[in-house]
Amino acid sequence: MDRRRRAALWLCLGAAMSSGCGGSSGGETEQTSSTASGNLSRIGPPMPEIVDETGVPVTSTARSIAFTNVNLVSMRDETIVPAQAVLIEDGVIKAIGASGSIAIPAGTDVIDGSNRYLLPGLTDMHVHPVVGSDGESDLLVQLAAGVTSIRIMWGGRGHLSWRAQIQAGELTGPRLYIASPGLEGDPPYWPNSVVVTTESEARNAVRDQVAAGYDFIKVYNQLQLPLYDVIINEARLLDIPVIGHVPRSMSADYAIAAGQETIEHFSGFAPHATTTGNWSGEIDASKLAGLIEHIRLKGTWNCPTLTVRSRSASQVDELRSNPAFALLSETTRTWLDDALTQPPTLDRSTEVRLLGEVVKALHDADVGLLVGTDAGVQYVYPGFSIHEELARFVDAGLSPYDSLRAATVNAADALGELDVAGTVEVGKRADLLLLDTDPFADIANVNRRVGIMAAGAWYAQSALMDMIGADPE
C-alpha cells in the first residue's frame, strides 16, 4: 500500500485505541504512570505509532547493510552515542564508528539513521504461540512489535518445525527458543503435559525432550518433589536448563536451591514475600529480603509476567475491540476467546500492586529480571503486549533503560548468548530496532519504530504491517 493510505490506516488504529481503551472495567484499579506509555488504566497493548520512514528502504536482504548517522543505544550502559555508523555483513555487526570513519563496501544497502536511535531487538521470554493453519502469521506480528527473539514456554512439534523453517529461510519470524511441554504430576493441570509418576518416567521424560530438540525442560504445577529432584539431576547430567513454575509440592526456596534456572510468574514467591502468604496482603520486607538474597546467591532468573497477572474476564469486550486483536491469526483469536480462565468478578489490583513492589525490590538488589508477557493466554496478544509489560516495569519504579535491559541484555544472558546478542557491539548478531525517538526519555518511544533488522534482513515498519495484512482494502 502507498504511504498516504498507510498513514490513514495508522491514524484510524490510533483513534480506535484512544476511544476503545480509555479505562479499566469490572472495578479493577490498576497502577498509573507519569509517562505517556505507562497509563495502565488503558487495557491492552498499544499499537505502533506513525513515524516518518523517509530515507529507508522498505526491505533489504542484501549481504551488506549499513546504518549511518544513528544515535547508538548499545545497551552496554545508559550512554547514547550520536552520529554513528554500523556496518553489518551476513547478519553480524562488522564495524561501528563515527559516521564517515568506517568504509562502507560497494553494493551495501544504506539506511539513513539521521536523528534516529539504534538499539538491540527485544526478547519476550515467556510466550505461547498457537500452532494452527495460520498461526505462523503471528510470528510476523512479533517482528512488527520489535520482538526479534521469543522463548516459547510450552513447546510442541509445530514450534520445532517453525524454528527449522526460520533457520532455513523458509519462514519469516523471530528467533525461537523452545521449552519442552510441562513435566507434570498426576492429575495434570493441562491435558498435553508429560505426566511422570515414577523415577524412571522422570528420567526418560528428560531424555525424550532432549532428543526431540527442546532447549529447556519445563517443570509444572503438579510435579511431586521426589520426581522434581530426579528431573533436576537428569537435566544437569544432560546439560539442559530446567525452567518453569515452582511446583506446588515445594517452596520457592527449594526450587532456587535445587538450581532451577528461571522462575515464571513469581510462582511460589508469596509465602516468602507477603504478610498473608498470598497476593492479597502486603509485602513483608524482612521475608522478601531473605528470598532475594537466596535468589541473588544462586543466580536465579525471574520472569514476573505482570501483564497476564492483571487480566480478568471483565476486560474481554475491551480487549477484543483493541485494534491489535484484529491483526492476530484467526487461530490465535479463536484460542484467546476460549482460554480466558479468570472469573469476571476477579479484582487483581492488589496482586498487581504487590507484584510490582517485588519487581522493584529485585531490581534494587541487582537480581536478574526478565521481560515476559505470557502472550497467547488471557488476551495477552503476541508481540504488541511486550510494550504493555515494559510500561509495567516502569510503573514499578524501574527506569526505561533498566526495563529495556531486562528485555535485551538480561534475556541474552539468561539464554546463554550474551557473547552474541543483547547489545549493539562488533561481533554480535544484528537483531536491531531503529526508533524515531529516544527510548530512555520515555518507554513509549520504543513503540515509535522506523523498522527492524532480524536474521540478516531489514524491514521497515510499514513493510511488516503490510505483511501481516494491516491494509484497509
Cell 516459547 -> residue: 152
Kind of pairing between the strands at 81-89 and 92-98: antiparallel
Number of domains the chain contains: 1
* Any domain includes 444: no
Range of the domain at 198: 121-419
How many CB atoms sit inside 10 A of residue 172's CB? 18
| 179 Cβ contact partners less than 8 Å away, ≥ 6 residues apart | 151, 152, 153, 154, 155, 214, 215, 216, 217, 218, 243, 244
- The C-alpha atoms of residue 454 and residue 16 are separated, in whole angstroms, by 30
CA pair distance 134, 350, nearest whole angstrom = 38
In a domain, 378, yes or no: yes
Q: Is residue 304 in some structural domain?
A: yes
Taking alpha carbons only, the member of 27, 18, 45, 87 closest to residue 328 is 45
Cα–Cα distance for residue pair 208/152, rounded to 1 Å: 18
Q: pLDDT tens-digit profile of 203-229?
A: 999 999 999 999 999 999 999 999 999
CATH, residue 247 = 3.20.20.140
* Average pLDDT rounded to a whole number, residues 155-174: 96
**Tens-place pLDDT, residues 348-397:** 889 999 999 999 999 999 999 999 999 998 899 999 999 999 999 999 99
pLDDT in tens, 8-39: 333 333 333 222 232 222 222 222 233 333 34
Does some domain include residue 434?
no
C-alpha angle with apex 183: 182 to 187, nearest 5 degrees?
Answer: 95
Pull the grid cell for residue 426.
562488533
Query: What does the block give as the cell for 106?
Result: 560497494
Residue 16 inside a domain? The answer is no
Question: Is the distance from CB of 174 to CB of 139 less than 8 angstroms?
Answer: yes
Task: Average the pLDDT over 89-117 and give the result.
Answer: 96
Res 25: pLDDT: 26
Supply 386's cell numbers.
511486550
Question: Looking at residue 345, what is its pLDDT?
Answer: 65
The predicted pLDDT at position 36 comes to 35
pLDDT at 306 over 90: yes
Asked if residue 29 belongs to a domain, the reply is no
Percent of residues, the chain, with pLDDT higher than 90: 77
Whether residue 58 lies inside any domain: the answer is no
Q: Which residues of 9-26 are buried (b: 16+ CB within 10 A; e: fewer)?
A: bbeebbebbeebbeebeb
Decide if 323 is inside a domain: yes
Beta strand spans in 16-115 (E): 59-60, 64-72, 81-89, 92-98, 109-112
